[in-house]
């Protein structure tokens, strides 16, 4: 295997694992689809990165952070549900991206290019992926309690605003990394599909979280080897592998239901 492929594999494993782990929390909050709009929100930054020749995750991150802050503020200032605030910010970001996105660079922006990463980019990706998982681990139980009842969480001494902000920042970091792996169009998939598959296969919260993490890692590994063998686009291939796991989990679940 070439050094470039190994770097791509390491980056993909890190992003996929963090995505699966974060997805297990986002599924609990019924916000697994929120990464999609945020991925689209990253597109203006991705466009600027492609125009001026710097890392697309670096370009995406400021725009996603700005969007996250706006969503966070809107959800408290207007009492709108977080998904409604996300939709407003998402639509604005998409409109801006279509104004400035170079047509010739559209494919990389929309479906990613994990096959072209540097050693420094790989190191940063691994470190940030670990940071994301640490952030999620620290707030996981509190976010589950908030999801059950915000009032109960406040009674238990949980700072709901701070937890929501940390949660949104973790999502922002993951989406910024995810655009490199699967592009702005498909970031939802690296979060939602492993978690959905794990939910079909697991019986406890611990097994659900662990399986989400493992599936998040396994799909990029298989997807990248298929990409290397066939020269298909890496991002969509990874998502298709993950979708196949989900279909197989449905068959397994149906088989268990029948036997019971």
> What pLDDT digit, counting tens, does each position of 25-54 carry?
877 665 545 555 666 667 777 777 777 777
Instruction: Look at residue 132 and tell me whether its pLDDT is greater than 50.
Output: yes
Mean pLDDT: which of 182-191, 199-208, 250-259 is highest? 199-208
Instruction: Look at residue 135 and tell me whether its pLDDT is greater than 70.
Output: yes
**CB atoms closer than 10 angstroms to residue 17:** 25
Q: Which residue has the higher pLDDT, 64 or 173?
A: 173
Task: Supply the pLDDT for residue 189.
Answer: 82
Element (H or E) spanning 243, and its range?
helix 234-259
Cα–Cα distance measured from residue 224 to residue 23, given in angstroms and rounded to the nearest whole number: 21
Element (H or E) spanning 166, and its range?
helix 160-182
Q: What is the largest CA-CA distance in the chain?
A: 59
CB-count burial class (<10 Å; 0-12, 13-18, 19+) for 243: middle
pTM reported for the whole predicted model: 0.78
Task: Enumerate domains of the chain plus CATH numbers.
Answer: 3-259 (1.10.3470.10)
Q: What tokens does 117 get?
A: 């990463």
**Residue given tokens 């309690």 in the structure block:** 145
3-state DSSP assignment of residue 117: coil
Instruction: Look at residue 129 and tell me whether its pLDDT is greater than 70.
Output: yes
Cα–Cα distance measured from residue 116 to residue 91, given in angstroms and rounded to the nearest whole number: 29
- Tally: H helices and E strands in the chain: 12, 0
Instruction: Look at residue 260 and tell me whether its pLDDT is greater than 90.
Output: no
| Chain centroid, CA 176 distance in Å | 8
Q: Which of 174, 195, 185 is nearest to 242 (CA)?
A: 195
Distance separating the N- and C-terminal Cα atoms of the chain: 46
Reported residue count of the chain is 260
Cα–Cα distance measured from residue 183 to residue 167, given in angstroms and rounded to the nearest whole number: 21
């Amino acid at each position: 295997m070439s050094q470039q492929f190994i770097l791509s594999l390491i980056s993909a494993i890190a992003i996929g694992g963090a995505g699966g782990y974060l997805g297990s929390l986002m599924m609990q909050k019924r916000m697994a689809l929120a990464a999609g709009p945020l991925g689209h929100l990253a597109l203006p930054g991705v466009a600027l990165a492609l125009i001026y020749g710097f890392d697309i995750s670096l370009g995406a991150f400021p725009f996603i952070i700005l969007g996250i802050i706006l969503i966070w503020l809107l959800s408290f200032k207007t009492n709108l549900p977080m998904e409604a605030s996300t939709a407003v910010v998402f639509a604005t970001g998409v409109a801006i991206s279509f104004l400035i996105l170079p047509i010739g660079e559209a494919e990389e922006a929309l479906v990613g290019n994990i096959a072209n990463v540097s050693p420094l980019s790989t190191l940063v990706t691994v470190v940030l992926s670990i940071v994301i998982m640490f952030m999620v681990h620290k707030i996981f139980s509190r976010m589950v309690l908030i999801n059950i009842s915000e009032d109960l969480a406040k009674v238990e001494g949980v700072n709901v605003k701070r937890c929501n902000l940390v949660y949104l920042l973790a999502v922002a970091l993951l989406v910024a990394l995810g655009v490199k792996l699967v592009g702005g169009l498909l970031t939802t998939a690296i979060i939602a599909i492993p978690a959905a598959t794990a939910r079909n296969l697991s019986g406890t919260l611990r097994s659900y979280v662990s399986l989400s993490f493992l599936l998040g890692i396994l799909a990029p590994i298989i997807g990248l080897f298929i990409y290397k063998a066939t020269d298909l686009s890496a991002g969509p291939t990874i998502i298709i592998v993950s979708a196949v796991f989900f279909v197989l989990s449905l068959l397994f679940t149906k088989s268990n239901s029948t036997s019971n």
